[in-house]
Amino acid sequence: MECLGSKYDRMEKYKMTDEKIHGILRDFMKALVTRDVDKVLSFFAENGDWTNTAGVFKGKDELRRYLNWASGISENMTATEYGNGVTIQGDKAFIEQMITFTLMGKKVEYVEIVAWEFDNDKIKHIRTVSDRLLIAQQAAKGWLPKWMVNSIINQFNKGLR
């Protein structure tokens, strides 16, 4: 039987400092921007997952599939802390960042909010929130795709202005 003190001591042993978490975030984003898929995967726990506008990716195999796909459709990515920047609380971190990249030959820029959860120095969960319609609007090429995206946006905004 474990006493409360020893459980607390074990939790303290694995507690990550704010500096450690901030370093992981920085190194993760550097690997993501440089498209180093193996390095990005090394930050995840074996059962880690990433939820974003493209879907939910659980485990290293699905994460690799997602990262290879994302690397294949975009170029010249940058991620810059924006607005509120990074907030760290315990084993959780939140970041507001400006993402810029080239998609289908066009520059795309948008704000993204990311929630991170850690377990023993590894990423357990990432949840990313961004505006996929804004991305599509910026990347659309040709009159028909532009018309389609703008029609959807106009329907959403009907009565707003």
Q: What is the pTM of this model?
A: 0.84
Residue 35 pLDDT exceeds 80? yes
pLDDT value of position 16 = 85
**Two structure tokens written together for 60:** 């290293």
List, for residues 47-75, the tens digit of each pLDDT value: 999 999 999 999 999 999 999 999 999 99
**How far apart, in Å, are the Cα atoms of 36 and each of 8, 14, 27, 99, 159?**
37, 27, 11, 17, 45
Report which of 100, 97, 98, 110 is spatially closest to residue 137, judged by C-alpha positions: 110
Band (pLDDT 50/70/90 cuts) for residue 10 is very low
Burial class, 95, CB count within 10 angstroms (exposed 0-12 / middle 13-18 / buried 19+): buried
Mean pLDDT, to the nearest integer, of 123-128?
A: 98
Contact call for residues 53 and 128 (beta carbons, < 8 A): yes
pLDDT value of position 104 = 87
Domains of the chain, earliest start first: 4-130 (3.10.450.50), 131-161 (no CATH)
